[in-house]
Amino acid sequence: MIPFLDLKKINAQYEIELKEACSRVIDSGWYILGNEVTEFEKEFATYCETEHCLGVANGLDALVLILRAYIEMGIMQKGDEVIVPSNTYIASILAISENGLTPILVEPNIDTFNLDPTLVEQAITGKTKAILTVHLYGQVTGMDELNAIAKKHNLKIIEDCAQAHGALYKGKKVGSLGDAAGFSFYPGKNLGALGDGGAVTTNDSELATTIAALRNYGSHEKYKNLYKGMNSRLDEIQAAMLRVKLRYLDNEIQARQSVAKAYLEGIHNQFIELPVVEDVNAHVWHLFVIKTTQRVELAKHLNDNGVHSLIHYPIPPHRQLAYQEWKDDSFPISEEIHEQVLSIPISSVMDSKIINEVIRLVNKYNV
Ligand SMILES: *Cc1c(COP(=O)(O)O)cnc(C)c1O
């Protein structure tokens, strides 16, 4: 069976260094907010070309904390609206509602799966305070258009970079393209820890200071609490794992890009639409997502022949039971995407034999 993502094999490449880093933390006797987190924050800020990075517990909390900080800073208040793509992973939306803010769903472009800037402007009201854009599957959103809209309407731009570590827009790294960004280091992400982890990057010093307190019970000085904060810290042990894996992130991205190039060149099937890519080398290919009206049959054909595929995502957010308030709303582009997408294996540990086998089987699919 060709697995969708062989995490064990991915981490085995770095086994010696990961075990050394693990021992270093055990031997240090210091397990929360110590040297490993501080060093990782510096290294990841440098990588993302931002001034600040704050390690937090996971990607959802990274986004929750950015919005919470804007509320504490008086920039947003409960009831304000945040624009978010209607086809994103649910976590982007949860971060908004968790703060008592209102998520406003805006449809993506059917080809790129990313927010459609022309629809964003129509959704802005007097209560809109931010656009939470998601670089879905690893491809960056049209940031120039979004930044222009944000400037015109005085909105914050928050990037959800959970699927896009290292992706580029006009040569600049994601995480540095808006006012603040949230990253996830969930094990299956392109930069994955060996457990949960997340980070915020920003060039806004006040935002960084506020989040540093909020992630640590709202404490700005030991035993003094400025805010009603959370406990959401990146563990020392995960920071140590991430410092190892960050050194190889660019290799990981290049390997994924070569799989994507092989798929884009090799897959030819009238029943399948390949992803529309602006720049194959700027995209970091967290997922390789094809579209087909025959998803059930194609997935079965692949599975019967030993290739594991997944759906990202089968149910659109407005059809989730958690968001009953949207049950009568319709987002046709998002619905079409959710009905037709299928993700085929992509990772840094696929050799050409495996890649060619996936291509052969996808091309062989016939009704
Ligand atoms: C994974 C993911 C998140 C959440 O990250 P966690 O670390 O799992 O909390 C948020 N947004 C997107 C787009 C994701 O893919």
pLDDT tens digits for the chain (367 residues)? 999 999 999 999 999 999 999 999 999 999 999 999 999 999 999 999 999 999 999 999 999 999 999 999 999 999 999 999 999 999 999 999 999 999 999 999 999 999 999 999 999 999 999 999 999 999 999 999 999 999 999 999 999 999 999 999 999 999 999 999 999 999 999 999 999 999 999 999 999 999 999 999 999 999 999 999 999 999 999 999 999 999 999 999 999 999 999 999 999 999 999 999 989 999 999 999 999 999 999 999 999 999 999 999 999 999 999 999 999 999 999 999 999 999 999 999 999 999 999 999 999 999 7
CA of 188 to the centre of ligand 1 (A): 10
Residue from 98, 165, 101, 179 nearest 135 by CA: 165
Closest ligand 1 atom, CA of 197? 7
In whole angstroms, how large is the CA radius of gyration of the chain?
Answer: 21
**pLDDT at 268 (0 to 100):** 97
Residue 120 has which token pair? 């964003």
> What is the value of pTM for the model shown?
0.98
Closest ligand 1 atom, CA of 163? 15
CA of 189 to the centre of ligand 1 (A): 9
Closest ligand 1 atom, CA of 58? 7
The region, left, alpha or beta by phi > 0 then psi within -120 to 50, assigned to residue 142 is: beta
Q: Is the separation of the CB atoms in 132 and 60 below 8 Å?
A: no
Cis peptide before 313 (omega within 30 of 0): yes
Please list every protein residue whose CB sits less than 6 Å from any atom of ligand 1: 58-60, 88-89, 91-92, 134, 160, 162-163, 184, 186, 196, 198
**pLDDT at 23 (0 to 100):** 98
Q: Is the separation of the CB atoms in 338 and 316 below 8 Å?
A: yes
Which residue's CA is the nearest one to ligand 1's atom 10?
91
**For residue 32, what are the CA distances in angstroms to 183, 236, 266, 289, 336?**
19, 5, 48, 38, 45
CA of 184 to the centre of ligand 1 (A): 5
CA of 289 to the centre of ligand 1 (A): 17
Closest ligand 1 atom, CA of 189? 1
**pLDDT at 367 (0 to 100):** 77
Burial zone of 251 (CB within 10 Å; 0-12 exposed, 13-18 middle, 19+ buried): exposed
Residue 145 has which token pair? 């258009």
Closest ligand 1 atom, CA of 61? 9
Which of 56, 82, 89, 159 most suits a substitution to test ligand 1, by most atoms within 8 Å of the C-beta? 89
CA of 163 to the centre of ligand 1 (A): 8
